[in-house]
Amino acid sequence: MTLRPRSDEILRSVLWSFEEFIVPELTDPYAISVGHTITNLLRHLALRVELEPPALFAGNAELRELLADIAGYARADGLTELAEDLETTLAAAAPAGEYPSISRLTDDALALRGALDRAIRALQAAPSETEEYLELRARIREWIGRALAREADWIVPAFSGIRR
């Protein structure tokens, strides 16, 4: 089995070749603009190949735990439909200790984030002043903040060059 070149090395090589040989030949303003876009997207993809899988794995694990706690709260507070929805989503996601493929990580992230969105809406529709409710809402905001910070690691640097 060949381990070299890695996916990130291939992408960086394509990016280097594109910037070194293609971009200097571009003269049309629109072609130059498209060239900048391609450069930024290749840079973005190279960062995602490296940083996205572990970020999704960590985020999914954190979100599984948070959704399980929200489901417990929902069941105890009479929000049965929400509890069942969250439990179904959690059961369908890859087991916590397993490191799945990037496509499975992404699918699970989308399903878990969709469940979080539904949970937020349900919690907003049935507000409470209990300490448990307020703590869950704070934990949700903290998780969203961590997820955005992780994603910024591969978005911000990729688009810091010349753009269209």
Burial class for 100, CB neighbours closer than 10 Å (0-12, 13-18, 19+): middle
Specify the number of domains making up the chain.
1
Higher local confidence (pLDDT), 82 or 151: 82
What's the pLDDT at 95? 80
Exposure on the CB side of residue 98, measured as CA atoms within 13 A: 9
Residue 68 domain-assigned (yes or no): yes
Residue 164 domain-assigned (yes or no): no
For residue 133, pLDDT beyond 80 = yes
For residue 158, pLDDT beyond 70 = no
Residue 94 domain-assigned (yes or no): yes
Structural domain of residue 117, as residue ranges? 7-159
pLDDT above 70: percentage of residues in the chain: 95
Task: Tally helices (H) and strands (E) across the chain.
Answer: 5, 0
For residue 62, pLDDT beyond 80 = yes
Mean pLDDT of the chain: 92
Q: What is the pTM of this model?
A: 0.84
Residue 35 domain-assigned (yes or no): yes
Residue 13 domain-assigned (yes or no): yes
Higher local confidence (pLDDT), 94 or 150: 150
Per-residue pLDDT of 5-37, as tens digits, reads: 988 899 999 999 999 999 999 999 999 999 999
Residue 1 domain-assigned (yes or no): no
Residue 36 domain-assigned (yes or no): yes
Residue 59 domain-assigned (yes or no): yes
